[in-house]
């Protein structure tokens, strides 16, 4: 079900107004700015990057540059209260807007709402709703009109989590997630739902913290209709036509170390992830070359450092690299879907209250 962005904003403001008068709770407000550089804005493959730079694309891309600088403006409201007797509760609302310096077509906004609840001293649970009204991918050719249009989708996401802490040194958690993708009117055949389950283990020892997460996801391409006419591949262009249903396994690990540096608390994080996706299209390779027998391997690694400058101001800087290697029965998948990208950022967070 789609939720209008205006409604999300109203809920966000209502929660803020509701929280303020309650003396038994405490409200914290954080303002965050992040400046981010992305070297591959649309996740172009090496082939597509070359065609863009040589100005020989079949359809001229609407972006001005393959890379861009992005500014994120975020406000976070945390309201701590006891909804259950002798148990901590937290209401959290986050609203984010991202603006690109050269390519406003990639501008986006999202909102997120959390309810976290302790159950006794060792058990806690949370529910989260996330909404992103529009995420632009790139221009694709609409198979019904044979014309190029912007391909973008709206995303709704629900996540439920349960965490058990038998001791300070150990946390064990699990979560269930549902994502709904709704594409614009030209590409409704790409619509789909994703179910994901995951397990997480957190280990602590002195200044060290290690987080490991393993998840399994299944995506159903609900908009796909096998009777629809698929576009010809004579031009060898990227698109999402065909049956894009898949299963995915992902492993994430993060190591964090905190220490006082120059008299200020400093956190250093190193992270890595490996995701393997297997598409389930039963169409012939000649009919569905981008999905038949296709498997993707995505590797991501990153490092960041955050320092609390004082009680109300913190700064963070980081770098991340990711690459996707696609293989399928038809060589087109590797040519069009393999990519690499890297980005770096600096972030300032100010505690307003």
Residues 227 and 340: their CA atoms lie apart, in Å, by 34
- Identify the bridge partners of residue 68 per DSSP, sorted by sequence position: 38
Split at pLDDT 50, 70, 90, the class of 16 is: low
The pLDDT value given to residue 1: 44
pLDDT at 335 over 70: yes
Query: Which residue do the tokens 């999402």 mark?
Result: 240
Alpha carbon distances (Å) from 2 to 160, 179, 190, 244 = 19, 11, 16, 21
pLDDT confidence of residue 229: 55
CB 100 within 8 A of CB 65: no
pLDDT tens digits along 214-267: 999 999 999 987 666 555 555 567 777 789 999 999 999 999 999 988 889 999
User: What distance lies between CA 97 and its chain's CA centroid?
Assistant: 14
Question: Is there a contact between 317 and 16 (Cβ–Cβ < 8 Å)?
Answer: no
Kindly report, residue by residue over 308-327, the tens digit of the pLDDT.
999 999 999 999 999 999 99
Bridge partners, residue 323, by sequence: 299, 340
Return the SS3 of 94. strand
SS3 91: strand
Spatial distance between the Cα atoms of 282 and 242, rounded to a whole number of angstroms:
10
Could you tell me the pTM of the whole model?
0.89
Percent of the chain surpassing pLDDT 90: 76
**pLDDT for residue 12 is more than 90:** no
Q: What is the pLDDT of residues 69-87, one digit of tens each?
A: 999 999 999 999 888 777 8
Q: Give me the helices (H) in the chain, please.
A: 5-19, 46-53, 332-337
Mean pLDDT of 163-183: 96
**Which superfamily does 5-351 belong to?**
monomeric porin ompg (2.40.160.40)
Question: Residue 228 has what pLDDT?
Answer: 64
Please report the pLDDT score of residue 4 as a whole number.
52
- pLDDT tens digit sequence for 54-72: 999 988 999 999 999 999 9
Give me the residue spans of the domains in the chain: 5-351
Q: Which residue has the higher pLDDT, 79 or 18?
A: 79
Closest residue by Cα to residue 92 from 123, 127, 118: 127
C-alpha distances in Å from residue 344, one per residue of 40, 193, 268, 316, 322: 12, 31, 15, 11, 12
């Amino acid at each position: 079900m789609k939720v209008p962005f205006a409604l999300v904003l109203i809920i966000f403001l209502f929660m803020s107004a509701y929280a303020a008068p309650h003396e038994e709770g405490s409200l914290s407000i954080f303002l965050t700015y992040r400046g981010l550089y992305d070297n591959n804005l649309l996740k172009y493959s090496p082939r597509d990057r070359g065609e863009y730079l040589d100005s020989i694309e079949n359809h001229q891309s609407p972006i001005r540059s393959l890379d861009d600088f992005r500014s994120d403006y975020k406000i976070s409201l945390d309201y701590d209260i006891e909804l259950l007797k002798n148990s901590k509760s937290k209401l959290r609302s986050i609203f984010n807007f991202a603006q690109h310096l050269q390519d406003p077509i990639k501008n986006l906004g999202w909102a997120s709402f959390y309810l976290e609840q302790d159950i006794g001293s060792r058990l806690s649970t949370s529910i989260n709703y996330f909404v992103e009204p529009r995420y632009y991918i790139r221009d694709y050719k609409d198979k019904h009109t044979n014309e190029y249009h912007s391909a973008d989708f709206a995303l709704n996401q629900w996540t439920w989590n349960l965490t058990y802490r038998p001791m300070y040194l150990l946390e064990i958690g699990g979560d269930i997630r549902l994502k709904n993708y709704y594409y614009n009117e030209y590409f409704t055949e790409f619509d789909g739902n994703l179910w994901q389950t995951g397990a997480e283990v957190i280990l602590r020892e002195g200044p060290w913290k290690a987080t490991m997460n393993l998840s399994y996801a299944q995506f159903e391409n609900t908009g796909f209709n096998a009777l629809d006419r698929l576009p010809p591949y004579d031009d060898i262009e990227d698109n999402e036509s065909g049956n894009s249903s898949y299963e995915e396994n992902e492993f994430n690990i993060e190591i964090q170390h905190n220490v006082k540096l120059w008299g200020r608390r400093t956190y250093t994080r190193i992270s890595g992830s490996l995701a393997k996706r297997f598409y389930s299209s039963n169409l012939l390779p000649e009919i569905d070359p981008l999905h038949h027998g296709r498997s993707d391997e995505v590797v991501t690694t990153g490092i960041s450092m955050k320092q609390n400058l004082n009680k109300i101001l913190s700064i963070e800087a980081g770098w991340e690299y990711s690459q996707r290697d696609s293989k399928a029965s038809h060589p087109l998948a590797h040519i069009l879907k393999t990519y690499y990208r890297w980005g770096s950022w600096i972030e300032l967070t100010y505690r307003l209250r």
